[in-house]
Amino acid sequence: MIGLDTNILVRLLVRDDPAQTEKARHFIDTHCTPESPGYINCIVLAELVWVLESVYRFGRAEIAAAVEGVLAGRDRVVEYRDEVQEALTAYKTSGIDFADILIGRVNLARGCSGTATFDRKAAKLEGFVRVS
């Protein structure tokens, strides 16, 4: 198994640099299989969403579709896949940042009673406790 960085996923999704896109595609095709998958951790996904939002100006629906595509591949393993899926569902229907939602979902999965935050939007989510 080999870890995949955000920039590899961005090249595959955005395809704005043909040379890097081809290199990323070739790498995935030759190094990531169901038997030896590429590993995508939560930080990479949070960064991916941020890059797609802030740099490429993708809308929430486009970003959700991109992350769902990442989750769908048999040649990769996604850290906390269930929590990522839950965070993605909440992201689609809320105005809350994906990273904040994911933090809360992962913390609950790890046994936290909640996640302390000053963020008013995040505090509306299950598993968050607003500090005021």
Residues in CB range of 120: below 8 A, 6 or more apart: 130
Q: State the pLDDT at residue 52.
A: 97
Q: State the pLDDT at residue 62.
A: 95
Q: State the pLDDT at residue 126.
A: 86
pLDDT tens digits for the chain (132 residues)?
A: 999 999 999 999 999 999 999 999 999 999 999 999 999 999 999 999 999 999 999 999 999 999 999 999 889 999 999 999 999 999 998 889 999 999 999 999 999 999 999 999 999 888 899 998
Q: State the pLDDT at residue 73.
A: 83
Give me the half-sphere count of Cα atoms (radius 13 Å) on the Cβ side of residue 64: 14
CA dist., res. 52 & res. 56, Å (int): 5
CA dist., res. 17 & res. 1, Å (int): 26
Q: State the pLDDT at residue 106.
A: 95
Question: Distance from CA of residue 15 to its chain's centroid?
Answer: 18
Q: What type of residue is 13?
A: L
Contact in structure between 83 and 103 (CB atoms under 8 Å): no
Q: What type of residue is 94?
A: S
Q: State the pLDDT at residue 95.
A: 87
Residues in CB range of 115: below 8 A, 6 or more apart: 103, 104, 107, 108, 122, 127, 128, 129
Structure tokens at 112: 């936290």
Domains located in the chain, CATH noted: 2-130 (3.40.50)
